[in-house]
């Protein structure tokens, strides 16, 4: 059976957009399926699958925008900052270990210098994320 080119969308109480993908074997109308899957009291739309972003980097920032699903730049920035903090923590960790554990043969001074470089790098990233005006700019600020 052919893939259905359409999906059902609605906005949840937390502001996130849910997207119902019908099985290829589903033979009834999407309005019938909506009766089964859309929470009581929620209004829904049937839109083309092609009107949903392909890139899921900022999935939790998706929002209904007429008959399309688009990315909310403000929410995407919040998600980007969470990603930035995680990346920074990962880069800090080996240097933090040297300083905290006083590992023989490892220079705490060198580790502190490396930490300073990482701080500067991520401070710049933070500024670039805040200054971005669109999704592409946020992704570029995050390093691709």
Partner 1 sequence: MSTLKLKGSSSGEAEVTVAAAAGTPTITLPTASINLATDGSDGQFLKTDGSGTLSFATPAGYTGEATLKAWAAFDGDGDVNATLTEGNLDSITDHSTGQYTATFTTDFSDDNYMMAGAQNTQGFVGFYDEAGITAGSCKFATLDDDGGYNDSFRVTVGWWR
Where does this chain bind partner 1 (CB under 8 A)? 3-5, 7, 12, 16, 18-26, 33, 36-37, 49, 54, 56, 59-60
Helix, coil or strand: residue 52: coil
Q: In this structure, what are the phi and psi dihedrals at residue 106, rounded to the nearest 5 degrees?
A: -115, 130
Task: Work out how close the CB of 83 gets to partner 1 at its nearest, in angstroms, rounded to a whole number.
Answer: 11
Buried b (16+ CB within 10 A) or exposed e, 106-125: eeeeebeebbeebeeebeeb
Task: Work out how close the CB of 119 gets to partner 1 at its nearest, in angstroms, rounded to a whole number.
Answer: 24
Residue among 82 and 113 whose Cβ is closer to partner 1: 82
Residue among 69 and 111 whose Cβ is closer to partner 1: 69
Residue among 12 and 31 whose Cβ is closer to partner 1: 12
Task: Work out how close the CB of 111 gets to partner 1 at its nearest, in angstroms, rounded to a whole number.
Answer: 25
Helix, coil or strand: residue 118: helix
What is the gyration radius of the CA atoms in the chain, in angstroms?
22
């Amino acid at each position: 059976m052919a893939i259905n080119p359409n999906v059902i969308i609605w906005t949840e109480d937390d502001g996130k957009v849910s997207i119902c993908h019908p099985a290829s074997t589903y033979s009834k109308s999407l309005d019938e399926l909506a009766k089964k899957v859309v929470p009581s009291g929620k209004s829904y739309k049937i839109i083309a699958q092609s009107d949903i972003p392909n890139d899921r980097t900022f999935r939790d920032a998706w929002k209904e925008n007429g008959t399309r699903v688009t990315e909310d730049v403000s929410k995407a920035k919040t998600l980007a900052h969470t990603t930035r903090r995680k990346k920074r923590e990962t880069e800090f960790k080996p240097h933090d270990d040297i300083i905290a554990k006083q590992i023989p043969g490892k220079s705490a001074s060198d580790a502190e210098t490396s930490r300073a470089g990482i701080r500067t790098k991520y401070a710049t990233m933070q500024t670039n994320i805040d200054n971005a005006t669109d999704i592409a700019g946020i992704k570029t600020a995050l390093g691709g």
